[in-house]
Amino acid sequence: MASLKNSVRLTGFLGKNPELKTLNENTSLARVSLATNERYRNEQGEWATNTQWHTLVFWGRQAAFAGKALTKGSEIAIEGKLVNRQYVDNDGVTRHVTEVNVKEVLQLSRKPE
């Protein structure tokens, strides 16, 4: 169970095309948003949908795959870990971010041609 301490599995649809960045000759990353939907019955007995947005970060070969194979609307399943970080924006305000560092990705829908 030690490997389950920080483990995330999500299935959903990409909200935008991956944003690719090259940090140096050997390091690249791709960042993208993933929407997950939960359907439930509300207090009136009607079906409602709750959408949660998650920021995914792909590194190295995974980033190259994301840039080539994934587009807005692609359905994927991922496994990864949660990472919390903070940074100071251009206005001097400290921002806190939670992201999912992706270890494995499975493409559930084909890239449109």
Question: CB of 105 within 8 A of CB of 58?
Answer: yes
Residue 68 pLDDT level (bands cut at 50, 70, 90): very high
What percentage of the chain reaches a pLDDT higher than 90?
Answer: 87
CA–CA distances in Å: residue 75 to residues 7, 24, 25, 100: 20, 30, 30, 16
Structure pTM?
Answer: 0.86
For residue 109, pLDDT beyond 70: yes
What number is the average pLDDT over the span 32-38?
A: 96
Question: E-assigned strands of 1-113?
Answer: 8-14, 19-24, 27-41, 47-59, 75-88, 94-107
Better-scored residue on pLDDT, 20 or 109: 20
Mean pLDDT of the 22-47 span: 93
pLDDT tops 60 at residue 52: yes
Average pLDDT (57-74) is 94
pLDDT band, residue 1 (cuts 50/70/90): low
